[in-house]
Structure 1
Amino acid sequence: MLSKGQVNKVKKLNILIVGVGGQGTLLASRILGTVGLKLNFDVKVSEVHGMSQRGGSVVTYVKYGEKVFSPLIEKGEADLIIAFEQLEALRWVDYLHKDGKMIVNEQEIDPMPVIIGKAKYPGNILDTLKTSYSIYSLNALKIARECGTIKAVNIVLLGVLAKLAGIDKNIFIEAINEVVPAKVLEVNMKAFEEGYNYHN
């Protein structure tokens, strides 16, 4: 795993973004793709929408490297996973590298089987994950709301990722400036700073 200031010394970085439709996972992947380009990496971004428009799972692979041949990340290959809600963290944790780190938004969003009464939302997900994996959990929804909009959950989580990966925060700030619409830029910058300075 990367320590601060080492990003330009490594040859590759595999990031998995998992969540549900409407949480801003795709915007997060665009920002991460822009960051990779600014770091002079070859970048591949692969989005798997699923039933994203109806609240289903959304998965995005972001790969940095000197040369990236495949856009996909296999099980055990992700250096970093951003999980926008707990059940998605549980579903995708097998993709985490043994030395990788997972950032988890503590929010719970009921999938359709739970909504219609066919299943129950699992309990103690974070406690279960933390027994075997390096997990950084936070209430990103609460932080985003305090910043001014619940739509900034994605940017809060990117702030945490920037700190964990040791990537120069100014590169993220440049990427956010380029990708995020001007009318919501100020609140998103605040959300990024809150995530970057968050202590697990």
Structure 2
Amino acid sequence: MKLKYDPLNIVVCGIGGQGNVLAAETLGTALCGRGCRVAVGETYGASQRGGSVMSHVRVSEKWDPGVLIPAGEGHIILGFEPLETLRIARKYAGADTVTVYDPRPVYPLGVLQGIQTYPPLEELQAEIAALSSLTLAVPAADIAMEAGDSRAANIALLGAFSTLSAAPLNGEDLERILTQRFQGKVLELNRAAFAMGREAARKGGAV
């Protein structure tokens, strides 16, 4: 395996309760299994469930990388929610950033109460695309529901991630971690979500 960048900087972002941290830990475990040196760090918003959650995953073949990714040096952004994805892209996207995200909004309480407004989805997606060299919108939440459990959206996004040429992992690497973490029907559900995420990415033109 040869990293496209060393260190390779991956940002995983979304809303608390979406499984962002598990996704980052799964990536880190799989990368360690490939012999890489990996640093994973998380930051949380005002509340773990419903607040902003961001994980930095830094990967190197040569040395132990620092935990925090410098601004403008994110190589891959894995986003679980479009507004959070844009917020992270504005700070961390660079000239070669690849962004894979779920375009389904998760509306904050203030929006649901009519106190705040949520930006038009088309505008969010247009700016994400403008900030990235490649964007891939994968309906991970819908895929998870089709697979049988909404909580598998993070696994569907990992499936999409595994199709990227910039990703230093393949489907087998990540599926191996799934078999270590899950058993029985839960494992089969997550395998289905993972495969469906890969297929959705291929249809979306992942490179």
TM-score (norm 1): 0.89
TM-aligned CA deviation for residue 117 of structure 1 = 3.1
Residues 160-199 of structure 1, C-alpha deviations (whole Å, 9 max, x = no match) = 1111126221111111222345551110011111111222
Task: Name the structure 2 match of 1:185.
Answer: 187
1:97 and 2:94 correspond: yes
Tell whether the 8 Å contact from 2:75 to 2:96 is kept in structure 1 after alignment: yes
TM-aligned CA deviation for residue 99 of structure 1 = 0.6
1:115 and 2:112 correspond: yes
Residues 127-162 of structure 1, C-alpha deviations (whole Å, 9 max, x = no match) = 232234221002111111111111110001001111
Comparing 185-194 and 113-122, the one that deviates more: 113-122
Task: Name the structure 2 match of 1:3.
Answer: none
Task: Name the structure 2 match of 1:72.
Answer: 68
Tell whether the 8 Å contact from 1:51 to 1:58 is kept in structure 2 after alignment: no
Equivalents in 1 of 2:160, 2:142: separation in Å? 15
Task: Name the structure 1 match of 2:30.
Answer: 35
Tell whether the 8 Å contact from 2:38 to 2:58 is kept in structure 1 after alignment: yes
Q: How many residues align?
A: 195
Distance 1:190 1:52, change over 3 A: farther
TM-aligned CA deviation for residue 100 of structure 1 = 1.4
Match for 1:192: what amino acid? F
Q: Which of residues 157, 167, 172 is equivalent to 2:169?
A: 167
Match for 1:79: what amino acid? H
* 1:53 counterpart SS class: coil
Match for 1:48: what amino acid? T
Q: Which of residues 12, 17, 30 is equivalent to 2:12?
A: 17
Equivalents in 2 of 1:52, 1:21: separation in Å? 8
Tell whether the 8 Å contact from 2:89 to 2:131 is kept in structure 1 after alignment: no
Residues 24-44 of structure 1, C-alpha deviations (whole Å, 9 max, x = no match) = 111101100111101111111
Distance 1:11 1:129, change over 3 A: closer
Tell whether the 8 Å contact from 2:78 to 2:100 is kept in structure 1 after alignment: yes
Equivalents in 2 of 1:162, 1:97: separation in Å? 21
Match for 2:68: what amino acid? L
Question: Equivalent residues in 2 for 1:136-175 (5 A)?
Answer: 136-164=136-164, 165=167, 167-175=169-177
Instruction: Please list every run of 5 or more consecutive structure 1 residues that lacks an aligned counterpart in the other structure.
Output: 1-5
Distance 1:110 1:9, change over 3 A: closer
TM-aligned CA deviation for residue 90 of structure 1 = 1.2
Match for 1:176: what amino acid? L
Of the two structures, which has the highest relative contact order with CA contacts closer than 8 Å and spacing of 6 or more? 1
Equivalents in 1 of 2:119, 2:77: separation in Å? 20
* 1:40 counterpart SS class: coil
RMSD over aligned Cα atoms: 1.8
Distance 1:16 1:177, change over 3 A: same
Instruction: Please list every run of 5 or more consecutive structure 2 residues that lacks an aligned counterpart in the other structure.
Output: none
Match for 2:86: what amino acid? L
TM-aligned CA deviation for residue 112 of structure 1 = 3.6
- Aligned sequence identity (%): 33
Distance 1:47 1:21, change over 3 A: same
Tell whether the 8 Å contact from 1:20 to 1:55 is kept in structure 2 after alignment: yes
